[in-house]
Structure 1
Amino acid sequence: MRASDPAAPAFVRLAAHPLRWKLLTELAASDYRVRELVERVAQPQNLVSYHLRLLRGGGLVTARRSSFDARDSYYHLDLQQCAHALAHAGSALHPALGFAPAPPPSPRPEGRPAVLFACTGNSARSPIAEALLRHRTGGRVEVASAGSHPKPRIHSDAVRVLREQHGIDISGQRPRHLDTVLGRRFDYVISLCDKVREVRPAFGDQPRLVHWSIPDPAAATSPGPVGHSAFVRTAAEIDTRIRYLLPLLTFTPQEVQP
């Protein structure tokens, strides 16, 4: 290669390695801990940790301490950053290569896809996710939320953020227990809380189990503007993840590679 030849874009250099690509594809489906990734890619932990460190350095992967066991960390693929990196790589090859946002899912022949969001109290993260997915799909997806230890009511800041940021009113909604939805069929069961992931009950029909490691915005905040901003950030992160979930909902779990 001549000295004047441009280097490959960072995303291409990072994703071209077979193990890093495997880690990216695993994290595209769910957040995982290191030991879980070691099992899924069948490689030594020191090697997996090394390549995760490179992916974090490249801004494609982030890590967050588990709220269930602070000795653990959950790794998350930043799909928004990946989209930007892919767009940059495409334009570096040719200006006409771009990426259009994925359209909302169309109804499947066998009926609407069904999604359950779960967290501990069903008072903030999971009702926010339920409301945002229902809003973005206009009823084309059957969606519910529940908690392992539901609180008496939806958090007031969750109600406020959805109303102010998205024009959604959930003020009449009440938390429900996971036991109340055990008899229903779901294509996806998505946990948003590290604690509930460990106690999540078994569901029939083998739904696709996904984990989004998102801290409880009510846990480390105080009333007022600071506490409210935590809910704004949480809703924004959930909304981003939901936008990248939408294309998957045009398929059944059996059609998506595990």
Structure 2
Amino acid sequence: MLVSKPAVLFVCVHNAGRSQMAAGWLRHLAGDSVDIRSAGSEPADQINPVAVEAMREVGIDITGNTPQLLDTEDVRASDVVITMGCGDTCPIYPGKRYEDWDLTDPAGQPVDVVRQVRDDIRGRVENLITLITRPS
């Protein structure tokens, strides 16, 4: 019996900090065992350079990522949708697992604050991996 990989979508407003860091952690910690998407309700032009720096400090390169506009198809194709301060802009579909992570927005924050957000996200991603990869 083939079991498909769980698909996770991380959503924040600009898709330039929190959601990109979360996707980076999940890719780093879960590898190819999870399909990973990341999007924003109002995507920025580029990823927050302080978020890039904070992730680089732990050996994760997110420089190749580009902020993406949230698409309803991304939500439809995901098993788990993690929102981070995007309010009501994320479409809701039955049968999906939704979590809202209350995290400081790294935009305009000094690197010390962004490091704290990065480390908080890592712990949340580790918990998420446990939830979505254990046998049902």
- What TM-score do the two structures reach when normalised by structure 2? 0.90
Against the structure 1 CA distance between its residues 190 and 149, is the aligned structure 2 distance closer, same or farther, given a 3 Å change threshold? Answer: same
Partner of 1:148: 41
Stretches of structure 2 that go unaligned for 5 or more consecutive residues are none
Q: Counterparts of 2:87 and 2:104 in 1: how far apart (Å)?
A: 13
Q: Which amino acid aligns with 2:112?
A: S
Structure in which a larger fraction of residues adopt helix: 1
Q: Counterparts of 1:190 and 1:135 in 2: how far apart (Å)?
A: 17
Q: Is 1:202 matched up with 2:85?
A: no
Q: Which amino acid aligns with 1:148?
A: S
Partner of 2:106: 217
Q: Is 1:241 matched up with 2:131?
A: no
Against the structure 1 CA distance between its residues 141 and 121, is the aligned structure 2 distance closer, same or farther, given a 3 Å change threshold? Answer: same
Q: Which amino acid aligns with 1:244?
A: N
Q: Is 1:168 matched up with 2:60?
A: yes
CA deviation map 1:176-225 (0-9, x unaligned): 011274375111000011xx13221234x621111111120224x3xxxx
Partner of 1:179: 71
Partner of 1:158: 51
Q: Is 1:132 matched up with 2:25?
A: yes
CA contact (8 A) 1:191 1:210 kept: yes
Q: Is 1:123 matched up with 2:22?
A: no
Q: Counterparts of 1:201 and 1:180 in 2: how far apart (Å)?
A: 7
Q: Which amino acid aligns with 1:208?
A: R
Partner of 1:250: 133
Runs ≥4 in structure 1, deviation > 3 angstroms? 180-184
Higher relative CO (CA 8 A, sep ≥ 6), structure 1 or 2? 2
Q: Counterparts of 1:247 and 1:239 in 2: how far apart (Å)?
A: 13
Stretches of structure 1 that go unaligned for 5 or more consecutive residues are 1-107, 222-226
- What TM-score do the two structures reach when normalised by structure 1? 0.49
CA contact (8 A) 1:197 1:211 kept: no
